[in-house]
Chain A
């Protein structure tokens, strides 16, 4: 999956327009990244990548790029 495709998954999850997210963006600057988004991210990893992440993993993400890297692991 390309970086753009992964970003599109996150944009879709956060109901943002295409191209609104970039790898460099800090999570704290993404306004939509609230507790529902945390749950959505856990579910996205499970449904799209068959991976189990937990709240602690999310606490360790600083930028959108960190999430993309975790998708690749």
Chain B
């Protein structure tokens, strides 16, 4: 049977794989017979996700990616043990909501570190010869439609995601000679812990309601993001690079 999104035996690194969108990506790629390497901080959750997967050679690594200085060792170790990568998905991130007057430099740095800097650092570490597959490598960052919107309390978050979108355009060009494709996916509201918490915390906000109402196909499920990620990882997307594609049910 013809399989448009063929990821059989591809080795894909997924950060933020312990819950939400990252977990859904791991589960979908597993169904597509890829081998996934899961990364996040909560080992119990990583183990749970791994236990639900079929591919016996999938595995997890516990790491706090906000500690940027430790990333190079982590990636070197993963590749030494698991081999070169065919793909990398960065779903690790925090959904910071803070009024501007509370975004002190340390807070801005915290959001940028995990949402943006760790992404670039991992890309840097895997873009070195022998760390990526000879046939090339596809990178997908989980950005957010917030990167294109102006929403109250979202200065740090939206800027971190816009930085990611800008970075992939540059890396796509620079790494094209090595056979890399680099893209982001920009989800709108997706039903995960981040979403539930935000809705609770901002109850009654006309601003938040307006954004949600604009997403006229409704709030998405993590798998809605995972399907686009799987497509971008596959050769079916071989002409797509430097792009930021939205999954927003009309809300873009």
Contact = CB atoms under 8 A, between A and B. Distances in A.
A42 B200 CA distance: 11
A59 to B, nearest CB: 7
Contacts of B200: 54-56
Interface in A1-57: 34-36, 38-40, 42-44, 47, 54-56
- Chain A interface size band reads 10 to 19
Given A35-B207, A36-B152, A59-B203, 17 more contacts: A35-B203, A36-B153, A38-B202, A38-B203, A39-B98, A39-B202, A40-B102, A42-B201, A43-B98, A43-B99, A47-B102, A54-B197, A55-B200, A55-B201, A55-B202, A56-B200, A58-B201
Interface string B203-217: 111111000000000
B97 interface: yes
Interface of B: 97-99, 102, 152-153, 197, 199-208
Nearest to B99: A40
Contacts of A39: 97-99, 153, 201-202
B2 to A, nearest CB: 48
A39 B98 CA distance: 6
Interface in A47-73: 47, 54-56, 58-59
Main secondary structure of the interface of A (DSSP, over half): helix
17 contacts: A35-B202, A36-B99, A36-B153, A36-B205, A38-B201, A38-B203, A39-B97, A39-B201, A39-B202, A40-B99, A44-B102, A54-B200, A54-B201, A55-B199, A55-B200, A55-B201, A55-B203
Contacts of B99: 36, 39-40, 43
A53 to B, nearest CB: 9
B32 to A, nearest CB: 36
